């Protein structure tokens, strides 16, 4: 195995640079760059070069930055994206990247066939050929399909080793072609020529030209696909990629100047004319030779890289079906060449070769490359923002360059072709949903997102803490619930979930009895994992934690000092007990004064076998002693009823007051519900006269026997005198929520 690894990881920086530059200075340069100069003029051609590099340079820098922070393994760009955004998102973008690479093979092979156009024209002119042969000579597929077959056979037989050796030969031919082009001269060059802003007659729009030309500059990441075959990817990828990008930009500027000064714009805009061949010294054979070399090397590069991307995706077991992943991830015994992935790539390339439209293929490639480049720039930007201490690249880009590159990619997609952009994004969304469906166990949030959320959360909490303290009329619940019976009774967790859904914040703490030790810590971790799974299945917005404490008193003392998850202080504690076995009620009553020292509101949920029933009827009971509790009880009922689980719910208020004050209290409650815009019908407000022999608990038990949640107020003074007895006597009704407000709330 070690011999195989040593044999495989044998390349240095040169192959990365030569793969990039031979792809950049490839098919588009020979076949369509003159078309760009003719249609948009010299100045706007420069604008295309600059705009393209506003995407490619930030991407190259982002790629260099990421590559110097981590070991880039096989799969190149896919490996970087998947290890930054997570496997599922990474595979979604990786499949788009793979398609762009596979389609690129077709693009370059079609362009390779263009190199034989002059030979076909010569044969048709000088020989009287049968009609069938003439038709075949006019078809790009006549050269392209055998070329693809031969190229695939060579790569399958010789692997990446041959491809890298060919690169040097190709670069020499490319250099020779460019020298011949710059040495060439024309009669037009001696004239005054066109102005720098002039265009050909009937020009094509700027962004259509841009979409066709942009693939010329995408070659700068071609060498990254060789990451699994490099000795030192963290050094070779940044150096080779940046050098290839900058060299290509300079060469394209010089080529634009030469084309503009050497031929009429209408001639340049004609796609049937190979303008570089008309201008170059010995151009009739040198430029087709250069085109053939550049396109075959680019096709070779794409054909080497695309299967490796697909192989890397399959090795992450991301595709549906174990057999599919196993089959596509399989490599040859000697060089680990992705043999089966080559077959799939060949089929995709063949399909687009049959289509034969080079401009259409170029625009499709542009869309998928934009998605990939935007993702790489976004990774770099998010890493800067996340401030992860483990992110320490030896090469650093600037966060604003990465952000600019990401925005430019998305914007340019729509400027180039809004229809293709929507189709591409829609295809990516469908791919993500498809992959997510088959990989439910791999949808954990990536570390990069966790870091960004952590930074945002920290900044917001600091901001809120420094801001003016929340006024009573703007009250919202920030509840901490503590229970040691989390897995026996879930009522408290459900209630906290409803309160935390939209209007409030909730922290659920599972208490573990004992002192901190290795055993209790392990127990706490296991309980936390179970609770998180419970929260996920319930889709709750509750923050979950565990607490190891030897007593209820010490647990309360710790909890009241906890910082709120919202950035504001917590303002309410919630407890729960079983009405059938209320053993822990004494703990609650004994520690009530300790809770009051922190000025917390208190909720105590008495759970019954009826639980929350049908989640419809919420009954609120108000007495003359509840002047501080009443508004809090009403607000809590309103918040709970706003949850989707209570979509069919309604609130009913019962008020027990002396007979002489009933009319006054009724008017007050009606005004309160009206001015407070509370969804409580006047028909759902019932006033009950209190007489000396009135037994409040009996009335509540009778009226609320079918309620799904009954809310009752209590005062600390009464609790002090009567203890846990104030919570008894409600056995015949469902869940009861006892509420005690530390101070009156206003409903505004």
Strands 709-713 and 505-513: unpaired
Q: What is the pLDDT of residue 683?
A: 83
- pLDDT band at residue 4 using 50, 70 and 90 as cut-offs: very low
pLDDT tens digits for range 605-653: 999 888 898 899 999 998 877 878 888 888 899 889 888 889 888 999 9
Check residue 5 and give its pLDDT: 44
Q: Is residue 450 part of a domain?
A: no
Q: First and final CA of the chain: distance in angstroms?
A: 73
Q: Is residue 455 part of a domain?
A: no
Residue range 369-428, pLDDT digits in tens: 788 788 888 888 887 777 666 666 777 778 888 888 888 888 888 888 888 888 888 888
For the chain, what is the mean pLDDT? 81
* The pLDDT of residue 193 is above 80: no
Last residue of a domain, one of 386, 418, 442: 442
pLDDT of residue 743: 82
Q: CB neighbours of 266 closer than 8 A, spacing ≥ 6?
A: 38, 200, 201
Chain centroid offset of residue 29 CA:
35
543 in any annotated domain: yes
Query: Is pLDDT larger for residue 540 or for residue 37?
Result: 37
Identify whether residues 422 and 496 lie together within a single domain.
no
Q: Among residues 585, 601, 617, which one ends one of the domains?
A: 601
Q: What is the pTM of this model?
A: 0.62
Confidence bin at 65 (pLDDT 50/70/90): confident
Determine contact, residues 262/96, Cβ cutoff 8 Å. Answer: no
Least-confidence region, from 109-113, 167-171, 673-677: 673-677
Q: Do 659 and 708 belong to one domain?
A: yes
| Residue 675 burial (C-beta neighbours within 10 Å; 0-12, 13-18, 19+) | exposed
Whether 488 and 590 share a structural domain: yes
Average pLDDT over residues 22-41: 85
Q: Which pLDDT tens digit goes with each residue over 685-694?
A: 888 888 777 7
586 plus 622 within the same structural domain: no
Q: Are residues 559 and 637 in the same domain?
A: no
Residues 6+ apart with CB under 8 A from 615: 645, 646, 648, 649, 708
Q: Report percent pLDDT > 90 for the chain.
A: 13
**pLDDT of 443 strictly over 60:** no
> What is the per-residue pLDDT for 25?
83
Query: Is residue 725 situated within a structural domain?
Result: yes
User: What percentage of the chain exceeds 70 in pLDDT?
Assistant: 86
Judge if 331 and 205 occupy the same domain. Answer: yes
Examine the pLDDT at 495 and tell me if it is beyond 90: yes
Is the pLDDT higher at 677 or at 494? 494
Q: What is the pLDDT of residue 356?
A: 67
434, pLDDT greater than 80: yes
- pLDDT for 481 equals 92
Q: 3-class DSSP state for residue 711? A: strand
Q: Where are the alpha helices (DSSP H) in 68-198?
A: 77-85, 87-114, 117-126, 131-138, 141-158, 160-183
**Cβ 188 vs Cβ 33: under 8 Å:** no
Q: Which is higher by pLDDT, 411 or 304? A: 411
- Please check whether residues 577 and 638 belong to one and the same domain: no
Distance CA 170, CA 167 (A): 5
pLDDT > 70? residue 503: yes
| Statement to judge: residues 435 and 529 lie in one domain | no
Same domain, 211 and 123: yes
Distance CA(216)–CA(25), nearest Å, equals 7
Same domain, 359 and 267: yes
Q: What is the CATH number of the domain that holds 318?
A: 1.20.1740.10
Instruction: Classify residue 451: in a domain, yes or no.
Output: no
Q: Read off the pLDDT of each residue in 207-224 and give the average, rounded to a whole number.
A: 77
pLDDT for the residue numbered 676: 60
Residues 80 and 187 placed together within one structural domain of the fold: yes
Residue 40 lies in a domain: yes
Domain contains 459: no
Co-location of 223 and 361 in the same domain: yes
Residue 734 has pLDDT above 80, yes or no: yes
pLDDT at residue 3 in the model: 41
Among 442, 466, 491, the domain boundary falls at 442
Q: Is residue 469 domain-resident?
A: no
Which tokens belong to 563?
A: 């910082």
Instruction: Round to whole Å and give the CA distance between 95 and 91.
Output: 6
- pLDDT for the residue 568: 72
When divided into structural domains, the chain yields a total of 3
Which of 158-172, 337-351, 653-667 bottoms out in mean pLDDT, i.e. has the lowest? Answer: 158-172
CATH number of the domain bearing residue 559? 3.40.50.620
**Per-residue tokens: 148:** 């693809």
Structural domain of 584:
477-601
């Amino acid at each position: 195995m070690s011999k195989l690894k040593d044999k495989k990881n044998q390349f240095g920086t040169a192959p990365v640079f030569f793969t990039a530059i031979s792809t950049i200075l490839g098919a588009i340069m020979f076949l369509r760059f003159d078309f760009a100069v003719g249609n948009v003029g010299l100045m706007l051609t420069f604008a295309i070069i600059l705009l393209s590099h506003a995407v490619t340079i930030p991407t190259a820098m982002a790629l260099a930055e990421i590559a110097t922070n981590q070991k880039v393994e096989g799969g190149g760009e896919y490996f970087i994206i998947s290890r930054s955004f997570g496997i599922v998102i990474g595979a979604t973008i990786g499949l788009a990247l793979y398609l762009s690479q596979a389609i690129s093979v077709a693009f370059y092979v079609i362009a390779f066939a263009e190199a034989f156009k002059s030979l076909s024209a010569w044969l048709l002119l000088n020989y009287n050929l049968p009609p069938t042969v003439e038709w075949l000579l006019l078809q790009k597929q006549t050269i392209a399909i055998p070329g693809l077959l031969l190229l695939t056979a060579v790569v399958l037989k010789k692997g990446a080793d041959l491809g890298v050796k060919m690169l040097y030969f190709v670069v020499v031919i490319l250099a020779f072609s460019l020298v011949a082009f710059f040495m060439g001269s024309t009669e037009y060059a001696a004239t005054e020529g066109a102005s720098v802003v002039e265009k050909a007659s009937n020009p094509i729009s700027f962004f259509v030209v841009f979409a066709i030309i942009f693939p010329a500059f995408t070659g700068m990441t071609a060498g990254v696909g060789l990451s699994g075959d490099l000795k030192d990817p963290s050094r070779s990828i940044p150096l080779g990629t940046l050098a290839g990008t900058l060299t290509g930009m300079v060469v394209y500027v010089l080529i634009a100047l030469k084309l503009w000064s050497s031929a009429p714009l209408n001639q340049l805009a004609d796609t049937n004319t190979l303008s570089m061949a008309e201008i170059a010294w010995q151009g009739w054979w040198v430029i087709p030779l250069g085109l053939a070399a550049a396109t075959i090397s680019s096709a070779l590069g794409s054909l080497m890289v695309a299967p490796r991307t697909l192989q890397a995706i399959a090795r992450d077991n991301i595709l549906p079906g174990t057999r599919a992943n196993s089959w596509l991830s399989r490599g040859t015994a000697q060089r680990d060449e992705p043999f089966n992935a080559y077959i799939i790539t060949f089929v995709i390339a063949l399909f687009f070769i049959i289509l034969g439209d080079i401009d259409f293929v170029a625009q499709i490639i542009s869309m998928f490359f934009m998605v990939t480049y935007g993702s790489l720039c976004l990774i770099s930007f998010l890493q800067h923002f996340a401030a992860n201490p483990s992110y320490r690249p030896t090469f650093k880009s600037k966060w604003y360059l990465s952000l600019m590159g990401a925005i430019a990619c998305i914007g340019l997609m729509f400027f180039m072709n809004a229809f293709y952009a929507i189709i591409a994004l829609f295809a990516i969304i469908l791919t993500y949903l498809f992959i997510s469906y088959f990989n439910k166990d791999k949808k954990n949030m990536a570390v990069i997102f966790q870091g960004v959320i952590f930074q945002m959360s920290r900044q917001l909490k600091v901001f809120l803490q420094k801001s003016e303290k929340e006024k009573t009329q703007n009250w919202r619940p920030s509840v901490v619930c503590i229970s040691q019976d989390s897995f026996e009774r879930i009522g408290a967790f459900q209630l906290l979930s409803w309160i935390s859904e939209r209007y409030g914040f909730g922290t659920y703490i599972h208490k573990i009895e004992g002192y901190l030790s290795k055993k209790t810590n392990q127990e706490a971790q296991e309980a936390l994992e179970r609770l998180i799974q419970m929260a996920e299945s319930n889709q709750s917005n509750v923050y979950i934690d565990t607490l190891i404490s030897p007593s209820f008193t010490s647990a309360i003392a710790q909890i009241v000092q906890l910082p709120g998850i919202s950035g504001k202080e917590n303002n309410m504690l919630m407890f729960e007990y079983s009405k059938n076995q209320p053993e822990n009620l004494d703990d609650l009553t004994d520690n009530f004064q300790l809770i009051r020292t922190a000025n917390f509101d208190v909720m105590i949920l008495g759970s019954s076998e009826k639980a929350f029933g049908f989640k419809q009827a919420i009954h609120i009971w108000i007495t003359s002693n509840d002047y501080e509790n009443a508004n809090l009880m009403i607000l809590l009922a309103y918040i709970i009823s706003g949850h989707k689980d209570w979509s069919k719910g309604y609130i009913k208020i019962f008020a027990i007051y002396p007979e002489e004050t009933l009319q006054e209290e009724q008017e007050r409650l009606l005004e309160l519900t009206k001015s407070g815009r509370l969804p409580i019908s006047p028909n759902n407000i019932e006033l009950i006269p209190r007489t000396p022999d009135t037994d409040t608990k009996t009335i509540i038990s009778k009226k609320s026997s079918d309620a799904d949640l009954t809310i009752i107020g209590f005062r600390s003074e009464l609790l002090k005198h009567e203890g846990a007895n104030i919570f008894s006597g409600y056995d015949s009704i469902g869940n009861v929520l006892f509420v005690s407000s530390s101070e009156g709330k206003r409903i505004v």
